[in-house]
């Protein structure tokens, strides 16, 4: 298991802005509500960031996570029912949800606009299996952040040369 690195939050913020700007260029007048999924979400800090990001007429309205560790899920529940309601009063709990599951068994990757993950496995073979599962099951024109192998996959367009931000453009 990898330790969470706090400097990933500013990078995630930039990656989310890359996606929102990309959508805005394609549909400048369209109002857009997006669904965000963090696979291997821990206590859900990236979900909180995603839920509060805005760009022009776009925002992430639903931030969901998948976590296998019950202790992390319970910590998240405690954190987000007390502290967050004071810090972010417009944060709606029903749009913020963590499911206890193994990310290899999750069946709903096709329901999300943006899928994020950061080193969910310390085993290269399992990580590759997971990445392939996500890439195969996500819908066209949806986005993935965090994949290291996606750059080799011709079904995906890299949106930023320096970041692992991709859009699925082919089936």
For 65-80, write each residue's pLDDT tens digit: 999 999 999 998 887 7
Q: Which residues contact 23 (CB under 8 A, 6 or more apart)?
A: 30, 32, 58
The yes-or-no verdict on residue 151 having pLDDT over 90 is no
Number of independent structural domains in the chain = 1
User: Which CATH number characterizes residue 145's domain?
Assistant: 3.40.50.150
Domain carrying residue 108: 8-168
5 vs 36, more confident: 36
Is residue 1 assigned to a domain?
A: no
Which pTM does this prediction carry?
0.89
Whether 2 is in a domain gets the answer no
Q: Exposed, middle or buried: residue 34 (CB in 10 Å: 0-12, 13-18, 19+)?
A: buried
Q: Has residue 3 been placed in a domain?
A: no
pLDDT tier for residue 30 given thresholds of 50, 70 and 90: confident
- Distance CA(120)–CA(72), nearest Å, equals 14
Q: What share of the chain is helix, strand, coil (3-state, %, to 5)?
A: 40, 20, 40
Q: Output b/e per residue, 99-108; b: 16+ Cβ within 10 A.
A: eeeebeebee
Q: Is residue 16 in a domain?
A: yes
Sign of CA dihedral 149, 150, 154, 155: positive
**DSSP annotation of 2:** P
């Amino acid at each position: 298991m990898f330790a969470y690195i706090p400097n990933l939050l500013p990078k995630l913020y930039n990656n989310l802005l890359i996606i929102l700007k990309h959508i805005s260029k394609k549909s400048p007048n369209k109002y857009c509500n997006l669904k965000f999924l963090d696979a291997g979400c821990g206590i859900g800090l990236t979900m909180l960031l995603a839920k509060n990001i805005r760009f022009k007429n776009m925002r992430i309205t639903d931030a969901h996570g998948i976590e296998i560790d019950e202790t992390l899920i319970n910590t998240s529940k405690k954190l987000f029912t007390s502290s967050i309601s004071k810090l972010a009063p417009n944060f709606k709990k029903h749009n913020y949800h963590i499911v206890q599951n193994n990310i290899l068994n999750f069946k709903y990757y096709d329901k999300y606009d943006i899928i994020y993950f950061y080193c969910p496995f310390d085993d290269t073979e399992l990580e590759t299996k997971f990445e392939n599962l996500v890439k195969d099951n996500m819908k066209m024109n949806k986005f993935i952040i965090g994949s290291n192998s996606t750059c080799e996959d011709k079904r995906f367009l890299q949106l930023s040369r320096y970041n692992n931000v991709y859009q699925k453009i082919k089936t």
